[in-house]
Structure 1
Amino acid sequence: MLATTIGGVASISAAAVFSFTLLSKMVERMVSLSVGIMLSTALLHALPEAFDSGADTHKLFATLLAGLLAFFLLEKLAILRHSHHHEGDGHHHAHGHDAREAGKSGWMILIGDGMHNFTDGILIAAAFLANPELGIITGLAIIAHEIPQEIGDFIVLLNAGFSRRRAYVFNLLCSLMAVAGGLIGYYTLDQANGLIPYVLVFASSGFLYIAVSDLMPQMQRRATVRESVPQVLLIGLGVLIVVFLTGAH
């Protein structure tokens, strides 16, 4: 309860601060840190935890494959993630084009985020049931991943005509769906401990997919040495944070 509540409020509040003050450079830096945290959480902690559980190795790899394909399909259906267009983005549209497009997708963004946050709550619950330490680091990884995504959501909602207060309140309500997911996940998975390794593998597939298919390509578009050096350093910092907090080797 505490982890999902703090995670939801912290990620939304941080995203609101960045969005409303337009600290774009800090947002870009956070993407790099998020990549390091998500990749190391999945590869150095969650996946080893799942494979050390004694569950069938072939089934765990099948779950990893199914998870990657599921996130790909969710992206295709625009349920999990959505692309963001803004006025002045360099594309030649009539004035107001992007605002109209955002207006059409504003409520869908909130619905998609609510579903996503509900799933995050279940994943946090599964991680805590497997290992409290893993629960904490999973919560931190989800927060780190949510902030850049929520910043984009705020910008779209503001462009769609939401006031700052209304955008914050609706996004906060969606983020608190993680609490409901955490409660359901805790009481459901507690009765079926054998499912925990598979949920952890599915969570890892999400971290891997988002980091590799979304965040890293964004970083690759900034290929100058001036941009690349901080990116590499912050990815390394993200890895070190996970290693330090979890004792992963």
Structure 2
Amino acid sequence: MSNLSRRVLNSTIFVIAVSILFTPVASEKGSNFLQDIFRFYGENDTLSYENLKNMLDLLGTRRPSHVVEGENQFVHSKCLSAAEILSQYGLGNYSQVSAEHLESICPALLNHAVLPECPRTVPVTIQAIDYHVWGYGVLAVTIINLSSLLGLALIPFTKKPYFPKVLTYFIGLAIGTLFSNAVLQLIPEALGFDPKADNYVLKAIGIFGGFYLLFFTEKVLKMVLKTEFEHGHSHFSPGEQSRVNSLQNGDIGGKGEVIAVTSFSNIGADPPASVNSDPTIEQEVHVSRGTCHWLRGERISNIKTVAWMISLSDALHNFIDGLAIGASFTVSVLTGFSTSIAIVCEEFPHELGDFVILLNAGMSIPQAVFFNLLSAMSCYIGLVLGILVGSTFAPNVIFALAGGMFLYIALGDMFPEMNSILSEQERTTRNSVIFFLIQNAGLLTGFSIILLITMFAGDINLG
């Protein structure tokens, strides 16, 4: 018989014996045993609060090792302390427990005796936030905001012949980091999985593998079919082929109407001539330059609506990024850096495209920088809220929201832009192969970075 079972048996026999002492038949015969109990635990035939507490401790019912956080597991009974037992029966902590009182509280003692592993409910306390979380979080957000300004510095290089290749690599890197961060870290964290205990990493790699296999197969087939077409194996008649070419060049209905789409493919293009063609507008621009040093350029009323839509959506985007970064750093420093790396890789090409849209919408460079920095401030607000929520409550909802957002940005936003650049640059089969290899390099680099962080996150300590 184990020590635990022996103590349970002894405690039960003790309490049952105390109960028998108060039966009408045995009350007189058991008075001597009752006197021994009071003599052993109490003084002057009474039990004080401290005496009752010591008796409960001796019964072995209050073990600190058996702690259950949150609510008590028992439905029909509560694990009461000595003070709570006295309060249940209308007795205060300073009351003296007589023989009659002991008879009335005997069921509570029996409850403690037959439940030796009675859990002790502890309040859920707010976890102290480590200063590393705040320091690394602010550093990560600052680097992300500076990387967005880097896009503005690279605008003069957008007309260089090598720039589409550089941009393609960064877009592929952004897709790889965003997609892998969502499936390897954010979504598993939202579902409560642990990479070491639940062994979900291989399954998550399979998700990326399915995506990459379809991407690779589609691109190879398109290049093979394009090669056959260049060698004269076209399935269109000459008239139909000219029609296809006109549609690819933007002609609608043969009337020469062109759809102008502002995207990454427009980077490096000159702003519309109509922006500065009107002398009245030029005069208004000259007048407005004397109002504010940082807002020199077009009047606010003359800036197109698309610029304000971009600024507002960018502020909301940055706020959610800050939430994800803050919640990630509360889990671990490496999880926070993993999320930050994915956001940095995405911000560079994304903000580069936003700058071009803002400039084409009529903003001057100082205006574009000012409103970009203004929208970037929301990332700090999201960071603070993410750290507080992640430290006080479970950050699973934030991880789920960020995971869905990362998947949409990677597959619904960045991926079509990468294909758009490829379609504009694939003049020859050799050029198509080069861009295809650059896309693969970006995707696999981003995936490898997040995979390594996920696999070795538990073995690296950064504070």
* Alignment TM-score, normalising by the size of structure 2: 0.42
Residue in structure 2 matched with residue 163 of structure 1 by the alignment? 364
AA aligned opposite 2:417: Q
Whole-Å separation in 1 of the counterparts to 2:397 and 2:354: 30
CA change 1:231–1:180 in 2 (3 A) is: same
The 10-residue stretch of structure 1 (18-27 or 154-163) with the greater mean CA deviation from structure 2: 18-27
Q: Tell me which of 448, 454, 457 is aligned to 1:246.
A: 454
Q: 1:213 to 1:88 in 2, by over 3 A?
A: closer
Asked if 1:84 corresponds to 2:255, the answer is no
Change (3 A) 1:86 1:33: closer
1:104 corresponds to which residue? Answer: 305
**Code of the aligned partner of 1:153:** D
Query: Is the CA contact (8 Å cut-off) linking 2:323 and 2:383 kept in structure 1?
Result: yes
1:127 aligned residue (328, 334, 340) = 328
Which of 44, 52, 66 is matched with 2:184 structurally?
44
> What's the CA shift string for 1:190-220, capped at 9, x where partnerless?
2212xx1221122111111111122222333
Q: Aligned with 2:392: secondary structure?
A: coil
For 2:313 and 2:266, how far apart are their aligned partners in 1?
A: 26
Corresponding position of 1:190: 391
Aligned position for 1:215: 414
Q: Distance in 1 between matches of 2:303 and 2:178?
A: 29
Distance 1:226 1:121, change over 3 A: same
Greater relative contact order, per chain length (Cα 8 Å cut-off, separation 6+): 1
Q: Deviations over 1:132-165 (max 9, x none)?
A: 2111110111111111111111111112232222
Structure-2 change in CA distance of 1:40 and 1:85 (3 Å): closer
Structure 2: 5+ residue runs without aligned partners?
1-137, 195-260, 278-301, 424-431, 458-463
Q: Distance in 2 between the 1:49 and 1:88 partners?
A: 38
Q: Deviations over 1:85-112 (max 9, x none)?
A: 69989xxxx9538x9x972211221122
Describe the SS at the equivalent of 1:112.
Answer: helix
Partner of residue 18, structure 2: none
Give the Cα–Cα distance (whole angstroms) in 1 for the partners of residues 411 and 456 of structure 2: 21
1:32 to partner: Cα distance: 0.7
Q: 2: distance between equivalents of 1:216 and 1:110?
A: 22
Distance 1:164 1:132, change over 3 A: same
The equivalent residue for 1:27 is 167
Q: Which runs of 5+ in 1 are unaligned?
A: 55-82
Q: CA deviation at 1:128?
A: 1.1
Task: Quote the Cα distance in structure 2 between the aligned partners of 1:154 and 1:219.
Answer: 18
1:203 aligns with 2:402: yes
Q: Is residue 141 of structure 1 aligned with residue 361 of structure 2?
A: no
Contact 2:172/2:443 (8 A) holds in 1: yes
Q: 1:177 corresponds to which residue?
A: 378
Q: In the alignment, residue 12 of structure 1 is paired with which amino acid?
A: S
* Bigger helix share: 1
Instruction: Output the CA distance in 2 between the equivalents of 1:107 and 1:218.
Output: 22
Q: Is the 8 A contact 1:12 1:168 kept in 2?
A: no
Identical-pair percentage: 30
TM-score (norm 1): 0.75
Q: Following TM superposition, by how much is the alpha carbon of 1:38 offset from its aligned partner in structure 2, in angstroms?
A: 0.9
Cα separation, partners in 2 of 1:33 and 1:121, compared to 1, 3 Å: same
Return the offset for 1:43.
Answer: 1.2
Q: Provide the aligned C-alpha RMSD in A.
A: 3.0
Is the 2:328–2:336 Cα contact (8 Å) retained in structure 1? yes
The answer on 1:16 being equivalent to 2:217 is: no
SS at match of 2:304: helix
Provide the C-alpha distance between the structure 2 equivalents of 1:212 and 1:242, rounded to a whole number of angstroms: 17
How many angstroms apart in 1 are the aligned matches of 2:391 and 2:378?
20
Do 1:121 and 1:180's aligned partners in 2 also have CA atoms closer than 8 Å? yes
Alpha-carbon distance, 1:248 to partner:
6.2
Say if 1:53 and 1:197, in contact at 8 Å, map to a contact too: no
Contact 2:329 2:336 in 1 (8 A): yes
Given that 2:141 and 2:380 are in contact with CA atoms closer than 8 Å, whether structure 1 keeps it comes out as: yes
Match for residue 80 of structure 1?
Answer: none
- Judge conservation of contact 2:327–2:387 (CA < 8 Å) in 1: yes
Q: Which has the larger radius of gyration?
A: 2
Relative to structure 1, the CA distance from residue 118 to residue 88 in structure 2 (aligned partners, 3 Å threshold; closer, same or farther) is: closer
Which residue in the other structure is 2:123 paired with? none
Distance in 2, matches of 1:43 and 1:149, equals 21
Query: Is 1:118–1:180's contact at 8 Å kept on the other side of the alignment?
Result: yes
Equivalent residue of 1:173, what SS?
Answer: helix
Contact 2:172 2:439 in 1 (8 A): yes
* Number of aligned residues: 213
The 8 Å contact of residues 45 and 248 in structure 1, kept in 2 or not, is answered as no
Counterparts in 2 of 1:242 and 1:85: CA distance versus 1, 3 Å: closer
Among 126, 143, 148, the alignment partner of 1:6 is: 143
